[in-house]
Chain A
């Protein structure tokens, strides 16, 4: 007869990793468990002692210690310990002591090992300090999202309609009517080679470039087309297509097989897949005529966010979409401001800093922006214009939910509304003299991206930064030290956040203690290797290309970043759904056991990476000392 120790079986079945195991495995565990009681204060495991069991805490609390005596972990009901030894050399790696009266279930190592062979979920959970658990947590995300799975090729319904570059615009218009399409590709036939795509012409171009400009019907299309149009390869995902259209605010996207156009995707093709997509929202943004109208889109922005979360989009996808929407708001506000103030007296570039520049924006966000002006800028003559432009945009952004930056990092602040040479001076100064104030600015402005106007102005700053920063060890050392200011907690214990010194708190700022320290340390490595990438995952990619860090380390950082971002995103989505203002403060009691384990692992990744940072960019004496 089957002996049922229901008390043991049922408790195991409610806690990870055992909650993922089938009934037969749970029965084996419950049957082979040994139970033991330990009074508060009793030592449980001594460092180095042979060990062939996994310990499961049925009730009470246990602390584990590192070799140097530092607290390693504090564990409560449903937690396990001893796995480091079990999967290693069968010797205790972390000494353990009961800090409350404890009832432990001791599970035989041979059984655990056998079950690990059969059940990946158990093996991954127990693998000591690996990234495997994070990896699976992150990789499951995004799989379900249709947008990621469907290739652009699938959306193409017809061959591309094209004309030669010397085709007159009237004839081109007739071709479009005949085929009832809203865009044409301009293609050059070549002898013995596939035809080359030279440009694209859309309905809108006919309106703005032909009719409004009063050009004759005989004008060749090559004179009015958009040359070298932005395009994507056919195996890119629908999501990539959506992002690309979002980013460049285009409604027609040629889809290529290598050099050859296969067809054109238009906005409607994607909207058919995603009626409430961010693309739809961005399209709306550009059709609105005032700040008041734009303001009314804020609920749509939140709906788009929720929709993506519910569709299991990855954090990277959501960050990119939210940033693109933010950029669209900036761009539209600038267009409206220019309509009101007239054309700018000298060229300028409106830049964003921080999360929007990194394409990592979520819902709770301040505006961080600046203006870089052409060097012909004369303050006495031109600043009135740009001050007003900045005021309109910053106020508009604030009205649309992008709160004023508390630190004053806004184009409306004269300090951050300067010609290129002044900016170049700022950057040089910050890099050469990394004082605390300068470091603060570096952390903000060294994530920088052009949003509107002359993108080259911002690009020059990015290149200057990439070049100078990598050659200045004492700057890197200062940035590295600065990146250690914010540290992750040790983990969780019951409904508390556990600090490294053993203190307990009941709330955690997952941005300040999680994603921000990660972003900071990734930025230091990226600057050191001379990358101009802004997005954290793109920076990791650049670090991989440059072989700057070990591939496993990069992978761990990537999973940790994606996972921490996802937890923040889900938290904000839950707040929205409950009708509460979203924030970054998470109470551990609202985190599932699985999420806690993964979070703890992500915190460990940050901790290790911070230690490495200190070692990799050591303090160096200042020049001249």
Chain B
């Protein structure tokens, strides 16, 4: 599974995919290109994305909802927000029903991921994706797109959790005492990270609320620790 272009770099990887992809929607996505690594974050079109899943194992579990919201460092644009519930095409464990507050009947009426895949790719086109904990979004999107379109989607992401973890390590490097006692570093979960920037508490585990929460967190992180001129290469993965 090819999740990261490695030495090739994202722009070159996009160019390659744009030439080789057979699926027209994926090809169109890659043809729109990827921002240059030197582009300032303040000039980049961004898109906060969150997926909610039936569980954490990408092999066994599947996506149940997606929320996304386009933004830049000035504004998060609610009018362009999108939200989908999709049918994971397997039994939903009780626990995940209570977490996401999505009911069985909503799931049964929902389309499969394949039915919204092209719409999703169109929304992602030309924008840099911002997530909180990229592993989930990357693995699940990769798998879902491969199942739906027969080819894989790999894309660069800014991970607000990763940013927060490195900021916290830089500001509060763990001392030998902490290591001795096995003290855990400060929490970088979405709600805890937001609190550090005086952002309000939101209802967690709703894909659109979490996407909004993530977009606000990135604006806050840049305002406090970076600048609009910070190049993307320092922020993305």
**Could you tell me if A35 and B206 are in contact, using CB atoms closer than 8 angstroms?**
no
Task: Say yes or no: is B98 at the interface (Cβ < 8 Å to chain A).
Answer: no
Residues of chain A lying within 8 A (CB to CB) of residue B71: 35
Residues of chain B lying within 8 A (CB to CB) of residue A33: 78
Residues of chain A lying within 8 A (CB to CB) of residue B219: 36-37
**Could you tell me if A34 and B78 are in contact, using CB atoms closer than 8 angstroms?**
yes
Output the least CB separation between A449 and chain B (Å).
Answer: 55
**Could you tell me if A37 and B199 are in contact, using CB atoms closer than 8 angstroms?**
yes
Q: How long is the Cα–Cα vector from A462 to B202 in the complex, in angstroms?
A: 65
**Could you tell me if B224 and A39 are in contact, using CB atoms closer than 8 angstroms?**
yes
Task: Say yes or no: is B32 at the interface (Cβ < 8 Å to chain A).
Answer: no
Partner of A35, one of B78, B84, B203: B78
Residues of chain A lying within 8 A (CB to CB) of residue B208: 3-5
Residues of chain A lying within 8 A (CB to CB) of residue B212: 5, 7, 35
Known: A37-B197, A101-B197, A103-B200. A8 touches B220 (CB 8 A): no
**Could you tell me if A100 and B79 are in contact, using CB atoms closer than 8 angstroms?**
no
Residues of chain A lying within 8 A (CB to CB) of residue B203: 6-7
For A30, A38, A103, which residue has the most chain B Cβ atoms within 10 angstroms?
A103
**Could you tell me if A35 and B81 are in contact, using CB atoms closer than 8 angstroms?**
no
Output the least CB separation between B167 and chain A (Å).
Answer: 15
Task: Say yes or no: is B83 at the interface (Cβ < 8 Å to chain A).
Answer: yes
Contact string, B193-226, partner A, CB cutoff 8 A, digits 1/0?
0000111101100101100100110011001100
Q: How long is the Cα–Cα vector from A104 to B203 in the complex, in angstroms?
A: 18
**Could you tell me if B200 and A3 are in contact, using CB atoms closer than 8 angstroms?**
no
Residues of chain A lying within 8 A (CB to CB) of residue B84: 1
Q: Using a CB-CB cutoff of 8 Å, which residues 1-25 of chain A contact chain B?
A: 1, 3-8
Task: Say yes or no: is A607 at the interface (Cβ < 8 Å to chain B).
Answer: no
Task: Say yes or no: is A454 at the interface (Cβ < 8 Å to chain B).
Answer: no
Known: A58-B200, A100-B198. A4 touches B83 (CB 8 A): yes
**Could you tell me if B209 and A7 are in contact, using CB atoms closer than 8 angstroms?**
yes
Known: A4-B83, A6-B206, A31-B79. A37 touches B200 (CB 8 A): no
Known: A35-B75, A39-B224. A3 touches B216 (CB 8 A): no
A33: nearest residue on chain B (CB-CB)? B78
**Could you tell me if A37 and B223 are in contact, using CB atoms closer than 8 angstroms?**
yes
Task: Say yes or no: is B235 at the interface (Cβ < 8 Å to chain A).
Answer: no
**Could you tell me if A34 and B75 are in contact, using CB atoms closer than 8 angstroms?**
yes
Task: Say yes or no: is B76 at the interface (Cβ < 8 Å to chain A).
Answer: yes
Residues of chain B lying within 8 A (CB to CB) of residue A106: 75
- By the criterion of a CB under 8 Å from any partner CB, how many residues of chain B are at the interface? 27
Task: Say yes or no: is A59 at the interface (Cβ < 8 Å to chain B).
Answer: yes
Partner of A36, one of B74, B197, B209: B74
**Could you tell me if A36 and B78 are in contact, using CB atoms closer than 8 angstroms?**
no
Known: A5-B208, A6-B206. A36 touches B76 (CB 8 A): yes
**Could you tell me if A34 and B197 are in contact, using CB atoms closer than 8 angstroms?**
no
Q: What range describes how many residues of A lie at the interface? A: 20 to 34
Output the least CB separation between B193 and chain A (Å).
Answer: 13
**Could you tell me if A103 and B78 are in contact, using CB atoms closer than 8 angstroms?**
no
**Could you tell me if B78 and A8 are in contact, using CB atoms closer than 8 angstroms?**
yes
**Could you tell me if A32 and B79 are in contact, using CB atoms closer than 8 angstroms?**
yes
Task: Say yes or no: is A326 at the interface (Cβ < 8 Å to chain B).
Answer: no
Task: Say yes or no: is B82 at the interface (Cβ < 8 Å to chain A).
Answer: yes
**Could you tell me if B78 and A101 are in contact, using CB atoms closer than 8 angstroms?**
no
Task: Say yes or no: is A60 at the interface (Cβ < 8 Å to chain B).
Answer: yes
Residues of chain A lying within 8 A (CB to CB) of residue B74: 36
Partner of A34, one of B76, B209, B223: B76
Known: A3-B208, A7-B202, A103-B199. A38 touches B223 (CB 8 A): yes
Output the least CB separation between B96 and chain A (Å).
Answer: 19
Output the least CB separation between B161 and chain A (Å).
Answer: 17
**Could you tell me if A103 and B206 are in contact, using CB atoms closer than 8 angstroms?**
no
Output the least CB separation between B9 and chain A (Å).
Answer: 30
**Could you tell me if B223 and A32 are in contact, using CB atoms closer than 8 angstroms?**
no
For A38, A39, A100, which residue has the most chain B Cβ atoms within 10 angstroms?
A39
**Could you tell me if A35 and B76 are in contact, using CB atoms closer than 8 angstroms?**
yes
Q: How long is the Cα–Cα vector from A35 to B220 in the complex, in angstroms?
A: 12
**Could you tell me if B78 and A30 are in contact, using CB atoms closer than 8 angstroms?**
yes
Task: Say yes or no: is B169 at the interface (Cβ < 8 Å to chain A).
Answer: no
Q: How long is the Cα–Cα vector from A259 to B232 in the complex, in angstroms?
A: 90
Output the least CB separation between B175 and chain A (Å).
Answer: 28
A39: nearest residue on chain B (CB-CB)? B223
**Could you tell me if A3 and B197 are in contact, using CB atoms closer than 8 angstroms?**
no
Output the least CB separation between B69 and chain A (Å).
Answer: 8
Residues of chain B lying within 8 A (CB to CB) of residue A32: 78-79
A8: nearest residue on chain B (CB-CB)? B78
Partner of B83, one of A3, A34, A36, A103: A3
Task: Say yes or no: is B146 at the interface (Cβ < 8 Å to chain A).
Answer: no
**Could you tell me if B216 and A103 are in contact, using CB atoms closer than 8 angstroms?**
yes
Output the least CB separation between A122 and chain B (Å).
Answer: 19
Task: Say yes or no: is B77 at the interface (Cβ < 8 Å to chain A).
Answer: yes
**Could you tell me if B77 and A101 are in contact, using CB atoms closer than 8 angstroms?**
no
Q: How long is the Cα–Cα vector from A37 to B75 in the complex, in angstroms?
A: 8
Q: How long is the Cα–Cα vector from A154 to B197 in the complex, in angstroms?
A: 66
Q: How long is the Cα–Cα vector from A556 to B198 in the complex, in angstroms?
A: 40
Residues of chain B lying within 8 A (CB to CB) of residue A37: 197, 199, 216, 219-220, 223
Q: Using a CB-CB cutoff of 8 Å, which residues 47-92 of chain B contact chain A?
A: 71, 74-79, 81-84
Partner of A60, one of B76, B78, B198, B215: B198
Q: How long is the Cα–Cα vector from A8 to B213 in the complex, in angstroms?
A: 11
B197: nearest residue on chain A (CB-CB)? A101
Residues of chain B lying within 8 A (CB to CB) of residue A101: 197-199, 220
Output the least CB separation between A44 and chain B (Å).
Answer: 12
Output the least CB separation between B48 and chain A (Å).
Answer: 11
Output the least CB separation between B74 and chain A (Å).
Answer: 6
Output the least CB separation between A39 and chain B (Å).
Answer: 4
Known: A5-B208, A6-B206, A30-B78. A35 touches B215 (CB 8 A): yes
Residues of chain A lying within 8 A (CB to CB) of residue B200: 58-59, 103
Residues of chain A lying within 8 A (CB to CB) of residue B75: 34-36, 106
B199: nearest residue on chain A (CB-CB)? A103
**Could you tell me if A5 and B78 are in contact, using CB atoms closer than 8 angstroms?**
yes
**Could you tell me if A31 and B78 are in contact, using CB atoms closer than 8 angstroms?**
yes
Q: How long is the Cα–Cα vector from A32 to B83 in the complex, in angstroms?
A: 15
Closest 10 CB pairs of A and B: A101-B198, A37-B219, A35-B76, A34-B75, A39-B223, A59-B200, A37-B220, A33-B78, A7-B202, A32-B79
Binding site for A on B (CB under 8 A): 71, 74-79, 81-84, 197-200, 202-203, 206, 208-209, 212, 215-216, 219-220, 223-224
Binding site for B on A (CB under 8 A): 1, 3-8, 30-39, 42, 58-60, 100-101, 103, 106
**6 residue pairs A–B, Cβ–Cβ below 8 Å:** A35-B78, A35-B212, A37-B197, A42-B223, A103-B199, A103-B216
Known interface pairs A8-B78, A34-B78, A42-B223; 15 further A-B residue pairs with C-beta atoms within 8 A, sorted by A's residue number: A3-B78, A3-B81, A3-B82, A3-B208, A7-B203, A31-B78, A31-B81, A32-B79, A35-B71, A35-B78, A36-B75, A37-B216, A101-B198, A103-B216, A106-B75
